[in-house]
Chain A
Amino acid sequence: MNAVTWFGPRLKIQIGAALVLGMCLIALFASVLSPHDPYTQNLMLRLRPPVWAERGSWDYPLGTDNLGRDLLSRLIHGSRLSIVVGLMAMILALSIGTTLGLLAGYLGGRTEQAIMRFADAYQAIPEILLAIVVVAVFGGGVTVLVLVLGFAGWETYTRVAFNLTRSLRERPFVEAAIASGGRGRYVMWRHILPQMSPVLTVIATLQVGQLILQETALSFLGLGLPPPTATWGNILAEGRDRLLVAPWIANLAGCAIVLLVLGVNLLGNGLRETLDPRRADRR
């Protein structure tokens, strides 16, 4: 058994699921788990190093930031926004994209032309720019972030759902459902959609990782929730101004992001290799 077969889909799913589940539990029980309040400032305790450095102490295991706030508590609370925005934006993109793709593939004709040409044109637009403009105008609330990131990522689902629907329509069980008088909505919902759920699950999982990265990037640029809200992007941006005196602030926030996104990506890759054996090469 060599390294390649050993690090197969099962192990990827296990590691990925463990990381994601752990992060979700941390986000859910944030107030119980944090040793301190993430917003209490204490100027006497500014820029305390983490416990493994000299002068570090277990009172503030990951040190404190420039205003003396406990970094561990801030990182724990920061997980919430990333997970919520990542999931909600994915659900929005998935619902819009899949519905449009199903309709285009099932109805064909002019509907297909309109939807697919729209998706093509939409793809040529640099979404991140539009996201920046919208966030700049409306401010970076949770709703705005979800809407902006969700509306930026729907066309992948449309393309995939369209291609799958078109080939599924030719399959005997779908033809039988139509021949026995099934209405369009029933056939799409009960016969076609379940057939493509494995592929959609894989794409959706991998997209959550990308969405979390985009959310943290917007926060980092100062376009997410405004400070003092504890988000990973905000913490990293604050740490960036103190790299010489307190490099651990930026680096620990970076580690938190990587752990969550890596978990999501491992889970998505593992699922792809398991659920979609045709494309097992796309590891």
Chain B
Amino acid sequence: MRYLLRRLLLVPVPLIFVIAFVFVVLRLTGDPVAIYLGLDATPEQEAVLRAELHLDEPVVVQFGYFLADLAQGDFGTSIQFKRAAMEVVMERLGATLQLLTLGLAFAILLGIPAGVACAVWKDKLPDFALSVLAVIGQSMPSFWLGILLIQLFALDLGWLPTSGRGGLEHLVLPTVTLATFLIPNFILVTRVSVLETMREQFVVTARARGAGAARALWRHVLPNAINPVVSLIGLQLGRLMGGAVITETIFAWPGVGRLMVSAIFQRDVPIVIASVFIVAVTIILANLLVDLVQAAIDPRIRLR
């Protein structure tokens, strides 16, 4: 309980960072009045809008208004969509979350067993083959992987659609691309964690007292080796989101990542800001969840 409280107190820190960063960048993007009004605006129109956006006040006051707007979920009106930017972003969040959870789940289901296999057969063929694959995977740009998959499974074989969102068949290639981006790290971290746990005294003791190799692995090694792997999930969330931006762009997946990139080219600042903010909040909350899961499995963290 004390752990939970302490952890909750830490949530606002990165959030304040993101907000301050976004505000500074927003002030550096040039004069918002010019972006909204275009070239043929009269000075009177400009003055009205300037007052409306509080741009005639000191920066500190502007920051106050900015915070108040954020608290109400008001990021301004999208220039492309002529609607509240927050609304547009929230509509796309579902598609992104679907992709993120599927990709992460896939990476965990394949990466962790592969890492355990590496550790169990250390320096044997499975270890060698999987480690080599992991290094190649780490060197592979995910956007090229996605393009290769499109060429093979969509253009040549015609089994799967090239892009868009729809039935299950639309999910396959984006999920595989995103998961492959994460799997190498899961393999390598799991491998090291299991190997290090295998050397612990309690595992040696268990074996000496007659536990078989399989029982020692399941009951003694794996429960103690899982923690660094769970931390890895937290550490990978930012990377995962970066991967999602690329995956969504390649496969025309209608999520926040693709929205953000296209908004940059349209100079649609409200959308960019709203996307960054929503995604940052999602990642910070997911990080919190990972930490709580970790505390739940490992009393050493809970009681620290």
The docked-state distance in angstroms from the alpha carbon of A6 to that of B135 is 17
1/0 contact trace for A220-262 toward B, CB 8 Å? 1111000000000000100010011001001101100110011
CB neighbours (8 Å) of B127 from chain A are: 4
A283 in the interface (beta carbon within 8 A): yes
Interface residue? A125 (CB, 8 A): yes
Considering the chains assembled together, what is the distance between the CA atoms of A281 and B188 in angstroms? 9
The 8 A CB mask of B249-263 against A (1 = contact, 0 = none) is: 110000000001100
Q: Tell me whether A44 is interfacial, beta carbon within 8 Å.
A: no
Is there an interface contact between B242 and A128, defined as CB atoms closer than 8 Å? Answer: yes
Contact check: which of B17, B141, B235 meets A257 at CB < 8 Å? B141
**Does B6 interact with chain A (Cβ within 8 Å)?**
no
* Smallest beta-carbon distance A232→chain B, Å: 9
Cross-chain contact B147 with A254 (CB below 8 angstroms): yes
Name which residue of chain A comes closest to B242, CB basis: A128
CA distance A60 to B287 in the complex (A): 51
* Chain B contacts with A in 224-256, Cβ cutoff 8 A: 235, 237-239, 241-242, 245-246, 249-250
The residue in chain B whose Cβ has the minimal distance to the Cβ of A127 is B238
Contact yes or no, A125 B144, CB < 8 A:
no
Among B21, B29, B287, the residue within 8 A (CB) of A124 is: B287
Within 8 A of A (CB), among B1-33: 10, 13-14, 17-18, 21-22, 25, 28-29
Residues in chain A near residue B242, CB distance under 8 A: 126, 128-129, 214, 217
Are A128 and B139 CB-contacts (below 8 A) given A121-B14, A133-B276, A137-B25? no
The answer to whether B249 and A221 touch across the interface, beta carbons within 8 angstroms, is: yes
A126 contacts across to B, CB distance below 8 A: 237-238, 241-242, 279-280, 283
Query: Are the C-beta atoms of B151 and A247 separated by less than 8 Å?
Result: yes
Flag if B238 contacts A125 (CB, 8 Å): yes
Please tell me if the beta carbons of A258 and B287 are within 8 angstroms of each other in the complex.
no
Question: Complex: how many Å from CA A117 to CA B16?
Answer: 14
A130 at the interface (CB under 8 A from B): yes
Closest to A123 in B: B235
Q: Does B125 contact A (CB under 8 A)?
A: yes
Binds A, one of B81-89, B170-178, B190-198: B190-198
Of the candidates A243, A262, A269, the one whose C-beta lies within 8 Å of that of B155 is A243
Contact of A281 among B143, B150, B192 (CB under 8 A): B192
> In this assembly, does B301 line the interface, its C-beta being within 8 Å of a C-beta of chain A?
no
* A129 vs chain B, min Cβ distance (A): 5
Number of interface residues of A (CB under 8 A): 52
In the assembled complex, B104 has its CB within 8 A of some CB on chain A: no
Across the interface, name the chain B residue whose C-beta is closest to A237: B143
The answer to the question of B289 belonging to the interface, with a C-beta cut-off of 8 Å to chain A, is no
Shortest distance from the beta carbon of B57 to any chain A beta carbon, whole Å? 22
A26 CB to nearest B CB, Å: 18
Least CB distance from A271 to B in Å reads: 13
Is A216 on the interface with B (CB-CB < 8 A)?
A: yes
Interface string of B127-138 (1 = CB under 8 A from A): 110011001101
Query: With an 8 A cutoff between CB atoms, is B264 at the interface?
Result: yes
* Residue B148 CB within 8 A of the other chain: yes
Contacts of B128 in A (CB 8 A): 3-4, 7
**A257–B135 touching, CB < 8 Å:** no
Verify B17–A209 contact, CB threshold 8 A: no
CB-CB under 8 A from A279, the residues of chain B are 192
Min distance, Cβ B74 to any Cβ of chain A, angstroms: 19
Chain A's nearest CB lies how many Å from the CB of B119? 9
Specify which chain B residues have a CB less than 8 angstroms from the CB of A133 in the assembled complex: 21-22, 25, 272, 276
Judging by beta carbons under 8 Å apart, are A128 and B261 in contact? no
Check B300 for interface membership: any CB of A closer than 8 A: no
> Is A186 interfacial (CB 8 A cutoff)?
no
- Check A29 for interface membership: any CB of B closer than 8 A: no
Nearest CB to that of B119 among chain A residues? A281
Residues of A with C-beta under 8 A to B284: 124
**Cβ–Cβ < 8 Å partners of A17 in chain B:** none
A213 within 8 A of B: yes
CB distance from B88 to the nearest CB of A (A): 17
Q: Are B141 and A258 in contact (CB under 8 A)?
A: yes
Contacts of B140 in A (CB 8 A): 258, 261
Q: Is the CB of A254 within 8 A of B141?
A: yes
Whether B241 pairs with A265 at a CB distance below 8 angstroms is: no
Determine whether the beta carbon of B139 is less than 8 Å from that of A209.
Answer: yes
Q: In whole Å, how far is B76's beta carbon from the nearest beta carbon of chain A?
A: 15
Contact check, A125 vs B25: say whether CB atoms are below 8 A apart.
no
State whether the Cβ of B304 lies closer than 8 Å to any Cβ in chain A: no
Judged by a CB distance under 8 angstroms, whether A24 is at the interface is no
Q: Which of A117, A128, A262 contacts B245 (CB 8 A)?
A: A128
Residue ranges of B at the interface with A (Cβ–Cβ < 8 Å): 10, 13-14, 17-18, 21-22, 25, 28-29, 123-125, 127-128, 131-132, 135-136, 138-144, 147-148, 150-151, 155, 188, 191-192, 195-196, 235, 237-239, 241-242, 245-246, 249-250, 260-261, 264-265, 272, 276, 279-280, 283-284, 287
Assuming A222-B261, A262-B135, A283-B188, what are 7 further A-B pairs, CB within 8 angstroms?
Answer: A121-B13, A126-B279, A138-B28, A236-B147, A251-B147, A251-B148, A269-B135
